[in-house]
């Protein structure tokens, strides 16, 4: 199956900017952005981010408020703070042997950086990779990671897989099956997440947020400081 998948990828690989580098910092930026945001939204923001902060040292030296401003619109703003904190650790001490010791870096993101930047024989298993392996019953080699991600994103879809164009269909025990929809994330519109985002956007623009509950949540996450009732941006 690995050979069939590799041949398919040669013809169908998505052209994504983070696939043109082995720079660990650039790959970490892409992986953090992609954690809970669609690829199409990430691409232009990734390019812009690296244009502003092209190295881990430049991000480490950046003002935290500027980092948050640049992240606005990508959602889950805590990821920006963790990325900034991680950059400061790496700039000061270098890349640790255990990447999960960096702020906000879990097992999957660590595995992705180890594979795509450092060339280690470890397969990062995101939702798409796990789906393909579960349905085929096959454990793929680490050098097929990008192939698996593309297959899961474009062919081996969550609900109605496109088995008719899948390069693995002939050998797949799940061929022809459809699946129940997964539990959807609660709507953003009208949610507390939206209130937090609105409050942060207002504060970063120099305004005064009047949603005390949202401001308190932002303060708990380290995105703002509240002193004597005055809301300040992090240093």
CATH code, domain with 45? 1.10.340.30
* 53 dihedral zone (left: phi>0; alpha: psi -120 to 50; beta): beta
What is the rounded CA–CA span in Å between residue 195 and residue 211? 8
Our answer to whether residue 92 is catalytic in this structure is no
**Considering 3, 11, 31, 189, which one is annotated as catalytic?**
31
Q: Is residue 86 part of a domain?
A: yes
How far is it, in rounded angstroms, from Cα 235 to Cα 133?
45
Is residue 132 one of the residues assigned to a domain?
A: yes
**Model pLDDT, residue 76:** 86
Q: What is the pTM of this model?
A: 0.86
Question: Is 31 a member of any domain?
Answer: yes
Output the pLDDT for position 201: 81
Mean pLDDT by 10 residues, the chain (235 residues): 96 96 98 93 97 98 94 90 97 97 96 98 96 96 96 95 96 92 66 81 81 83 78 75
List the domain range (segments joined by +) for residue 148: 127-171
55 shares a domain with 97: yes
6, part of any domain: no
Helix (H, G, I), strand (E, B) or coil at 40: helix
Say yes or no: 33 and 92 in one domain.
yes
Domain assignment present for residue 14? The answer is no
4 belongs to a structural domain? no
Query: Strands 230-232 and 225-227: what pairing?
Result: antiparallel
């Amino acid at each position: 199956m690995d050979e069939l998948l590799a041949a398919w990828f040669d013809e169908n690989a998505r052209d994504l900017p983070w696939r043109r580098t082995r720079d660990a910092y650039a790959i970490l930026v892409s992986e953090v952005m992609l954690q809970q945001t669609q690829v199409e939204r990430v691409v232009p923001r990734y390019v812009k981010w690296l244009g502003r902060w092209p190295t881990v040292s430049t991000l480490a030296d950046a003002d935290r408020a500027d980092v948050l401003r640049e992240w606005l619109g990508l959602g889950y703003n805590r990821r920006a703070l963790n990325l900034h904190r991680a950059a400061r650790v790496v700039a000061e001490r270098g890349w640790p042997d255990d990447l999960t010791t960096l702020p906000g870096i879990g097992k999957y993101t660590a595995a992705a950086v180890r594979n795509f930047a450092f060339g280690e024989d470890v397969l990062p298993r995101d939702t798409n990779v796990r789906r393909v392996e579960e349905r085929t019953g096959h454990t793929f080699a680490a050098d097929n990671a990008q192939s698996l991600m593309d297959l899961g994103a474009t062919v081996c879809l969550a609900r109605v897989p496109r088995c008719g164009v899948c390069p693995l269909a002939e050998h797949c025990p799940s061929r022809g099956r459809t699946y129940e929809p997964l539990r959807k994330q609660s709507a953003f519109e009208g949610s507390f997440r939206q209130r937090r985002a609105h409050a942060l956007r207002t504060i970063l623009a120099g305004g005064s947020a009047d949603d005390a509950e949202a401001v308190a949540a932002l303060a708990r996450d380290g995105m703002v400081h509240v002193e004597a009732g005055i809301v300040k941006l992090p240093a």
